[in-house]
Each structure stands twice: as C-alpha cells, then as structure tokens.
Structure 1
Amino acid sequence: MTVTTGFQPHSVLKEKQPDGTILLRSNHKLGDVVDRTGDWLHRWSNDAPDRVFLAERSGAGWRQESYASTLQKVRAIAASLLGRGMGQDTPILIMSGNGLDHGLLSLAAQYVGVPTVPVAEQYSLIHGAHGRLRHAIELVRPKMAYVIDADHYAEALALDALQGVDVIASRPGHNTRVSSFASLLRGDASVDIDTAFAKVTPDTVAKILMTSGSTSNPKGVETTQRMMCVNQTQIADALPFLRQKPPRVVDWLPWNHVFGGSHNFNMMLANGGSFYIDDGKPVKGLFERTIENLSLVTGSLCFNVPVGFSMLLDALQKDESLRQRFFDDLDMIFYAGASLPQDIWQGFEKMAMEVKGEIPLMTSSWGMTETAPACLMQHEPIDRAGVVGVPLNGVTVKLLPDADLRCEVRVSGPSIFENYFNDPDKTASAFDEDGYLITGDAMVFVDKDDIDKGMKFDGRISEDFKLLTGTWVRAGQLRLDMLACLAPLASDLVITGADREQIGVMIFANKAELEREGFSLEDDKGAYRCALLQGEIHRRLVERSREIAGSSSLISRAIVLSEPASLPEGEMTAKGNLNYRKVLTRRAELFQRLYDDADPAVTIL
C-alpha cells in the first residue's frame, strides 16, 4: 500500500499506576501555539492575501472572500459589535446553518472576545424542536441573534424567549425589528479595534457549543481560544502535510457541531487553507447538490460521516470524470461519527489505486465537544477502519481497564474544556479526583503488546447493561455489529435486554429500502408485520449466531419500527444520534411487544 501524505510516526509512552490505571502520552513535543484565532487571520492576510479563505455557492459559481478581505470585514464587524455594547458577557446566538456571513460573524466575535452560540438550524426550522431552541436561549441569555433569512426563520424569531434580543439577518425581509448584516460591515470609527483585539487571551471564551443532549438537556461547553488553537497545533503536528501545502475542503458538516465548526473550519484557517461551503448533505434530494459542488471544486482533504462516504463512493463509481478530479489532489480521507464499513474503506482504496496509483491517508480520530475535539488520532497509515489511534501531543489519556482489558477513557491536557456554561455542578461531576475529564467512552488496544498500533472505540460505558443471568452486554459495539448485519434494512437501532433474559433489537426501518424490496406492510401500532421482512431478518440473525459464542452478543428477538426517530420528541439529537432512553420511554408499548413471544410482529431466533 502506497500512501501519498507525510505523517508523524506514532510514539507512545505508557505508564502503569499502582492502582492499575494506565497513562498514555505522546513522546513528541507539542509545537508552537498561537494565542487567538485572529492571529491566524493576520498571518495569512499578510502571507497570502489573495488566497480564497471562505466561499459559498452563488448562482453558477462561488461568492468568495480572500484572507485580506476576510480580515477587513472581520475588523469592521467586530467594531460594530463593540459599538453595540457586545462583550464577553453578551453571547450571540447563531440560529442558521453554515454560510459565509455566519463565518465572518463568528470570526469577528472571536476577534474581540464576544462568545457565539451556534445551534442546530433544525431547532429553529422544525416547530416541534423549538423546545431545544428555548433551552439554549434560556441558558445563555443572548443579547444578539443571527439568521440568514428573517422570513424563513420568522416562526423561531417570534418566540417570547427572543423578545428584546437584537436580531441580525443577511436577508432581513419584511421584519421591521431585524437589522441587516450589511449594517455590521459599516464598522464603528469610535471603537479602538486594535486595543480590543489585544485584550483577547488564550483564556477568552470563543464560543459556547451545545452538547448533543443524547442523555439529558444539552450543556453549554465553554470553548476557549486556547482549546481551539492548541488543538490545531496538535493536529498539524500529527499531519505535517497540512503545513506543507495549503489544504482545501468542500465541506457540509454543520458548524454548530465541534467536528465541522472547530475541527474543519479552524484547520483551514490555521494552515492558510480554503473552505468551500457545501450546501448539500448526504440525504436524498440534497446529495445531488454536493456532487454539483464537487464538479466545480474538489478538496485536498475530504471529511464526512460513513453514510456520506457510502453515497460518495457510489457517485464516483458512476462518474469517471468526477472520480479523476476527486482523487487528483487528495491527501486525506477522514471519517467520524461512526466506524466506516470496511467495504466502503476498501472501495476508496481500490479506486484511488486505479486513478492515481497511490492511496490518500485514510483515517479517523476520537474526541468530544469538551475536547476541542481531537484527543486521539490515527496518523500512521493502516488498512482497516475502526481505529482511533494514539494520544495527540500534549494530551494525557488515563485508562481504567477491566478484566477483559477494555478500558474506560479519561483525558487531560491544554485542549480540554474547564467549564460548562452556568452549571458548576455538572462541571464538577465531569472530572475525577485527579482532574481528568470523565468521557464515559470505552476503548481497547488494537494490539496490547504494541501500543503504537493505537486503540479502537468500544462503545459507551453508560450503554452497557446486564442480562438477568449477570452477563454484561456491550451495547455500543453490538449496535455497530448489528447495523452491519442488517444493512441496508436498518437506518438505526436500539439494543435492549437490561434485566431481561435475552438481548433484543428495536430496528428503525430504512423505509425507502424496505419498500424497494417489497417489505411494506405495517400494523396500526407502529411496527412492521411483513412475513418476507421477518424471514429476511431471521435468516440474518441465524447466520450471525453461527459466528458468535456466548450470550453477551446473541440477538434473540427483533421488531421493526415503522415510525422514524423523532427530533421534536427528543428521540434523535441534531447530530443524528439516538437518545436510547427517550426511545424506550416513548415507545414503551413497542418495547413490551418485543418480549412477547405471541406478538406476530416480533422475529424470534
């Protein structure tokens, strides 16, 4: 296997503590770190003033901002914010998705120390999700809010919680209480912008990122300048090719999430790269826009979630011209959100070799909103998915192994957060007695005798449960196994069995696939009762059972749900993750049916 990109070799120091815990650290030294994101902007506006930094679709082409024009507009917007009385204690709520004005406003706020609070646009656009929006508003008490289009967001802007808040819109429409984004670009000559910028320190809160809320109401993670700046140094230390050639992305991942908004956005800014905003998404009806965007510009890096890579691989197989352009300058394929199916991984490897005779670095990392996000990264080439790598420079990973060498993961370092916004109790409970962040995630070594081979994610500790027999079930890993087993019939699923004798699975149907295959009969209580579908699931469960040993991973019963997971009802987070507790509570009747041997909708092994 020939990999095109340069990388920092893994070198991990392992230290076993008297209490049995294990500490892992990188043997490499952390590189130089800037104090503020504005320092990156100043550097590149000086070194590469005409290079495209941000671009979004406009008609048949792109609306673009160079590094020089970005800095000029950021300083004007920042002066306007200060002139309107904004500061560290007056957050800006950003209710819209990715966009050029969104990016300029965020950078301007960071430039003078005004926190931004980007929230999922679904919270504003879906009536039933307004509760999540209200929660964010009541938590952070913003003084200003931004939307791209006031008419499109009119229902959300009319919420009582936003009364008295200064609303800014790129397209104000007919709303008389809304100011135009263009008004911010006029600046404010009375403001000493250089003095304000100089007061921003590494400890200044740059933004408040809302957690997914998969187990409780979302928390506000205070993300400091230090967290973001250190993390980009850590990533570039591991991937030195980022510093050798300006990177370029065509990226859709939402900026309210740490992956898209901190990891990817700041990677372009820190390394003088170009960020082309993809207004498509890996869903039916929008993915075509992604392909159109890629026909205009392709990236040197490609970030996506597994379903996005699956759709992209299919599109590349059908379009020779796009395939050639996609791989021509590609240095890295990076997946996150879930493990990439091995057949998709191998499909990209095979295609890359056919097109250019080399394979880009294919990799992933591990982190959380609270960790800026990258903590571990696989920065050496490997031939399979599922490995999240080794600690990045400056991070200490604390492992609490069990008898099977599965380890609970805790972390510390300069890129780790210190506070949840206005929530000292949850902040205190987030750290152990030694100051390590309690992540709740579990990992295993790829090779316990060679720690440089890295670690694999092994589910959430909180998702594990015991059967009545006392057998532990690792539900997180089992879910991934079952998604592979039931693909493409299942869009997602919930593993059940706590305090039961058998493990069950509640399957969220991939309706389009089921209907294509003729599995279309539903009952009046929210489940599928199609004999053909149940027969296919039974066949797959039987085949799987022949390959496993022990009751800890044997699925004995299944039910297919006809109603998709609901964002308004809290069953799904804005990131697309299931809230398992909410699903089981809201669908208690279906859960009971799953363990009823007489129910005709239940498939029993």
Structure 2
Amino acid sequence: MEPVSLKEIPFAEVNFAARDLLTEHRADGSIILKTNIPLGPYPEQLSDYLRHWSDSDPDRKFLVERDPAGAWRPISYGQAVAAADSISQALIDLGLSSTKSNTSRPVVALGSNSIEMGLLALAAMQIGVPFAPISPSYSLMSGDFSKLKYIIDLINPALVYVPEAAPFKKALDHVLGPNVPIVSGDGAPGFLPFTEFTSKTPGPDFAQVYADVNGDSIAKYLFTSGSTGMPKAVITTQRMLCSNATAVCQLLPVLDDHPPIIVDWLPWNHVAAGNLNFNVILRSGGTYYLDMGQPKPGEFETTINNLKDIQPTFMQNVPLVYERLAPYLEEDDAFAKHLFSKMDFMLYAAAPMPAPVQQRLDAVSAKAVGKRIPFISSLGATETAPACIMCHWPSEAPGNLGLPMPGVDIKLVPNAGKLEMRVKGQNITNGYLGNEDATAAAFDEEGFYCMGDAVKFVDPDNFAEGLQFDGRVSENFKLTSGTWVQTGEVRVGALTAISPLAQDAAVTGDMRDQIGLLLFLNQVECAKAFNLSAEISLSELAENTDLRAHLTEKLAAHNRQQKGSSRRISRLMIMTEPPSVQDNEITDKGYLNQMATLTARQALVERLYEDDPAVLVLS
C-alpha cells in the first residue's frame, strides 16, 4: 500500500471567514489591496469587553497563573472587574487619571506576565492613564541600564510597578527620581504594597473618569526592539486595540464559536501577546493561562507540563517554539492527542515558519486526531497593534501571511525589485512619543505607515492566494526565533575579531535559525600572515587549512563574548570571487551592498546552511 501524502490528509474544519479581496493597480506600479469585509463595530475602550463578560458570565475564568505551590490560581471576569476598578481608584487617589493629571505620564510595569500586571494594565487604561510594560531584561540583564534609563527619561512615568522589589532595586535606584511612587507585588518595605491598590472602593468620580475615555485615549506606550538604536515609544490608542481585536475575530470567527483558551509565555511588553493574544481573549470571553516557561534549555519543560495540563483551543507563537514542541509530540502519542483534540488552529508570527517544522506538526496532528490542524500566520508590527494581514484559511503554501484585515488598506510599492508593504487603518499608530523625526519618516505622502517589510504573492496570477514574506527592505532581519539581528553590528564585530584578514562580509540568517557570513578575504593580509605567495588566489586561500583553523578559532572566541543568538555567528563560507560591480555588490563608495550581495549569491547562501565541506561551522 502506498504511503499517504500529508497533502492528502484533510485539514480540520474550522470557522474561518471567506476571502473577498479588492485590488487596485496604480499607474506608478503600486498595488492597493483591501478586503471587502467591512470592519465591524467595536467599543470605545477595552474594559467595555471586561464588563460585558462580567455581567453575562461573572464566574468564567479570565486569567489563570500558577501559585507558589504549583496549583492553578484563576481570577474570574467578575473578580477582575472588581479588582481593576479598585486599582483605578487607587490611581485616582494618587492623582492619576484623564481628569487629574497630564495623561501622557504612564504607569510602568517592569516584571513578567502576571495576574497583577494584567489587572494594573486594565485599571490604568480604563481611566485614561497609559500603561507602559517594559522588557524585564532591561532591568535584570543589563550592566548599565542604558535602555531602561532612556525609556524612563522619555516617558516620565507617574508610577512604577514591580512584582518583587529586590531583583529590581538596583535598576530602580539607577533610573528613577525620588518622587516616583513604586508599587511592589511582594509588599517590600519602602514600596507601596499592591494589596492596598486592590482594597479600594471606587468613589463617586470613577464612573465619569471611565466614561471620559474614548478611542483617541492613549492606552499604551509599547516599545520597539531597539535593534537599530534606542527603543521608540509607540503611541497606542484604545481605537487601535479595539479595532484590531475586532478585525482578528472577524477573520477568525471560530474565536466566537466557543470561549477560546490559550496557554502562553510570550511577554506582554511585546505586541503579539500584550495586544493580540490578551485582547482577543478579552473580547471573546476566553481564558488566558500564563505560562512561565521559556523556549530555553531547562525552562521549556515548564511549557510542556502546562500544555499537558491544559487543552488550548489555539496557539500563537514564534516558529522556534513549534520547533521545540515537535519532538515532545512525536515521542508521546497521548500528549499529542491531548493537545490537538480541542485545537482550532496554530498561529505563528514574528518570523517565517520553516517548512520542515510545519510538516512535522502536520504529521503529528494527523496521527493524533486524523486531520491536520491548520497553521495560519500574520504580519504586523508594534506600530500596527499588531495585525495588518492574516491568513484566515488553511494554506499549503509555506509562510503564507494572508490578506488584509478588515479596515486595513495595504499598499505594495515597487522597491529595488521587491514589493514594499505599507499600511493604513484604524489600528495604525499616530507616531512615536517625543520623536518627531522618526514619526515623519515612518509615513509616506499618503499617510501609509512604512513597515520596512517586502512581500510577494503566493500566486502572481491569483492575488487571493495571499502574500509571503520577502525579506526586509532594510538590511536588518529576524531569525526564526523572532530575534532581531542588527546586521551592521554583527558585521563589524566579526571583521574586528579576524582583522586584518577580511575585506568585508555579508551577514546571512533571514528566515533561518542561525547567523552566517559570506566572507571576502583580504588577499594581501592573508598571504602575509601565513607566509604565502602574494599571487595566491582566493580559491587557494579558501582551502588553506591554517587560515580556516585561524578563522574558526577567532570567531569562536568572539562568539563566547556574545550574550545572545542575535550576535553569535554559526556558519562561515569564504568567497572565491570578489564583490561584483556589475551585480551592484559593491557601491560607488566602496561599501559592500548587503542585499545585492545576498541576492546575487543566493545559491551560496543555500549552501551555507547545508552540510558542505566549504562551510566552517563555528561554536
């Protein structure tokens, strides 16, 4: 009997919206895409959703986390409204609200996801006080706290929350002035105890302060990754949040068929979880299980145990997590059946999904439940709240990002042989706090936000088949983990480590799990360093064992000094042909054109990630 192809196994039937694409071709070569599905109604603010579910089903679980003993501790929608309103009153008593202060001064949160943080976010936003979650790494893993200090100076917080005082004290002492109140979840001496915030009774002014919040109210300041400099504070309004949550649920109506359940580790200081996951759960009356695991050695077991305990109806994660998850499911049939039995779909974002990973999970779900669980994807940014396009159908095309969201116009602009994607809609930011230059540069003459991403059509003859990621218009890129790689810094670091033996290097790794280099040698310096003939060719140098060993040693030492995958170089190939002027690999100023080099040498980039004798694999 012939083995059954995965493509012959049907996808699970899921309630997705039908595609209805409108297309406009312009004389300048640009293309406008939009859906014919109109954006549905949405409330003035997120907490209207919270109140709806509190009124209709007050005992339904909203947020759930592990207590110190390891048991799940839930807070219901009814309890969440009461707690959030109490915290709002505490903030009002401190002089924070849309009517009592300059509402641009936010409440800052420095910790990891928690029920306390979720309640504080809702409490602040529902009275017109922006919420600003900041990556804990800026406080806990930084030597000089430079990014944290920059952010604090920029946003001038009215209050700071930490889950525990001790781990954050050094950072707080370094960046905060003496007059900023700090609330601590553990009630440490010298800090305001969080328990006092949840024991307040809302006063007579609370209802009016709540009613004053509207779509234009600033809900959050969310921060860009800072991969190209200091983080930018993205102004995020209630309209952005509510309209995007509505648009997502319009394309994925399955989210309203039954209360969605998610088990999620992604941090709320990032837009994917803090906006999309949190707000979709809130809008659809779902339950959010907080996963304290991480896709790191020694920590992923926590995620696995949580997934064995809870059956999510959807997942939204970076491809790296699905890759880490695959072997656990392949080795444990019972776990696979448990996980997929209630799963409607799996969503990935932040980086492209490697086809082999998707195929492995397709095979596991087919074996476990007899059908493939649809993988869908989306593309967005912190500035877009986040979803701009979404694949809302089962697709065989790897990396299918889908089509425009309701209420979003997509403009595809020809740029250096690619189609640059620009977006306009009610989910798009007005700009960056305190950075007029960056705000002006982010939008084109028609008011479209310039994302910096390039896309291509899955089927150029049928646009309705969706869009695929086609790299960054700029040189920086993401690994499959979702981690940004700053090409310039990687290049300079590598060239410094092996100086003076290299002329230049092109950095690879876009849509990959590792950084690589296409290395252009300095023939003169290499010949001198290894007592070789000045006439030695690049091909001969590329095969020189002493040179290869030296490069491997120096770059391995360089890697040991790097803190994360965004700086470590894993693979290297020595180029045997110099940069080509004809292929625009070398600029008129003598600089290596990264994008042109990678395009011209795409076959070598592919070889770099294969088991090829020309490749140096670095530790």
State the TM-score bracket (shorter-chain normalisation): 0.7 to 0.9
SS in 1 for 2:433: coil
By how many angstroms is 1:305 displaced?
1.0
Q: Matched residues in 1 for 2:245 and 2:175: separation?
A: 39
Aligned with 2:557 (options 523, 526, 534):
526
SS in 1 for 2:509: helix
| Residue of structure 2 in register with 1:92 after alignment | 107
By how many angstroms is 1:523 displaced?
4.3
| Residue of structure 2 in register with 1:421 after alignment | 433
Is 1:275 matched with 2:275?
no
| Contact persistence 1:443–1:456 (CA under 8 A) | yes
By how many angstroms is 1:354 displaced?
1.1
Q: Identify unmatched segments of 5+ residues in structure 1.
A: 466-474, 504-519, 542-547, 561-599
By how many angstroms is 1:550 displaced?
7.9
**Pairs aligned (count):** 519
Give the TM-score normalised by the residue count of structure 1: 0.80
User: Which range moved further: 332-341 or 273-282?
Assistant: 332-341
Is 1:441 matched with 2:441?
no
By how many angstroms is 1:525 displaced?
7.5
| Contact persistence 2:471–2:510 (CA under 8 A) | no
Is 1:479 matched with 2:509?
yes
Q: Counterparts in 2 of 1:393-472, with a 5 A limit?
A: 393-402=406-415, 404=417, 406-463=418-475
SS in 1 for 2:410: strand
**Aligned amino acid, residue 334 of structure 2:** S
| Contact persistence 2:598–2:605 (CA under 8 A) | no
Give the TM-score normalised by the residue count of structure 2: 0.78
Measured against aligned partners, the alpha-carbon deviations of 1:248-288 in whole angstroms (never above 9, x if no partner) come to 00000000000010010111001000000000011111101
**Aligned amino acid, residue 61 of structure 2:** V
Aligned with 1:553 (options 602, 615, 619):
602
Is 1:107 matched with 2:156?
no
| Contact persistence 1:528–1:559 (CA under 8 A) | no
| Residue of structure 2 in register with 1:2 after alignment | 11
SS in 2 for 1:60: coil
| Contact persistence 1:149–1:171 (CA under 8 A) | yes
By how many angstroms is 1:129 displaced?
5.7
By how many angstroms is 1:495 displaced?
6.6
Q: Matched residues in 2 for 1:136 and 1:224: separation?
A: 19
By how many angstroms is 1:27 displaced?
1.2
| Residue of structure 2 in register with 1:17 after alignment | 26
| Residue of structure 1 in register with 2:45 after alignment | 36
**Aligned amino acid, residue 60 of structure 1:** G
Measured against aligned partners, the alpha-carbon deviations of 1:580-600 in whole angstroms (never above 9, x if no partner) come to xxxxxxxxxxxxxxxxxxxx9
By how many angstroms is 1:401 displaced?
2.1
Aligned with 2:173 (options 154, 158, 169):
158
Structure 1 pair 371–556 and aligned structure 2 pair: CA distance change class (3 A):
closer
Q: Counterparts in 2 of 1:145-294, with a 5 A limit?
A: 145-173=160-188, 176-294=189-307
Q: Identify unmatched segments of 5+ residues in structure 2.
A: 1-9, 98-102, 477-486, 488-505, 524-537, 539-550, 561-568, 577-596
By how many angstroms is 1:165 displaced?
1.1
Measured against aligned partners, the alpha-carbon deviations of 1:11-55 in whole angstroms (never above 9, x if no partner) come to 211101222211111011111211110110011111121110001
Structure 1 pair 26–345 and aligned structure 2 pair: CA distance change class (3 A):
same
| Residue of structure 2 in register with 1:73 after alignment | 83
Structure 1 pair 495–220 and aligned structure 2 pair: CA distance change class (3 A):
farther
By how many angstroms is 1:360 displaced?
2.2
By how many angstroms is 1:216 displaced?
1.9
Is 1:358 matched with 2:371?
yes
By how many angstroms is 1:348 displaced?
1.2
Q: Matched residues in 2 for 1:421 and 1:157: separation?
A: 22
The higher relative CO (CA closer than 8 Å, separation ≥ 6) is in 1
SS in 1 for 2:74: strand
| Contact persistence 1:332–1:362 (CA under 8 A) | yes
| Residue of structure 2 in register with 1:513 after alignment | none
Measured against aligned partners, the alpha-carbon deviations of 1:516-569 in whole angstroms (never above 9, x if no partner) come to xxxx9844882589xxxx999769x9xxxxxx9983424489999xxxxxxxxx
| Residue of structure 1 in register with 2:543 after alignment | none
| Contact persistence 2:235–2:432 (CA under 8 A) | yes
| Contact persistence 1:248–1:274 (CA under 8 A) | yes
| Contact persistence 2:46–2:242 (CA under 8 A) | yes
Q: Matched residues in 1 for 2:36 and 2:570: separation?
A: 54
| RMSD of aligned Cα (Å) | 3.4
| Contact persistence 1:92–1:144 (CA under 8 A) | yes
**Aligned amino acid, residue 65 of structure 2:** E
Structure 1 pair 445–495 and aligned structure 2 pair: CA distance change class (3 A):
farther
By how many angstroms is 1:426 displaced?
1.7
| Contact persistence 1:22–1:400 (CA under 8 A) | yes
SS in 2 for 1:457: strand
Q: Matched residues in 1 for 2:570 and 2:51: separation?
A: 63
| Residue of structure 2 in register with 1:51 after alignment | 60
SS in 2 for 1:104: helix
**Aligned amino acid, residue 139 of structure 2:** S
Structure 1 pair 385–353 and aligned structure 2 pair: CA distance change class (3 A):
same
| Contact persistence 2:107–2:130 (CA under 8 A) | yes
**Aligned amino acid, residue 430 of structure 2:** E
| Contact persistence 1:79–1:191 (CA under 8 A) | no
Q: Matched residues in 2 for 1:451 and 1:382: separation?
A: 14
| Residue of structure 1 in register with 2:530 after alignment | none
Rg: which structure is higher?
2
| Contact persistence 2:148–2:175 (CA under 8 A) | no
By how many angstroms is 1:111 displaced?
1.2
**Aligned amino acid, residue 63 of structure 1:** R
**Aligned amino acid, residue 371 of structure 2:** E
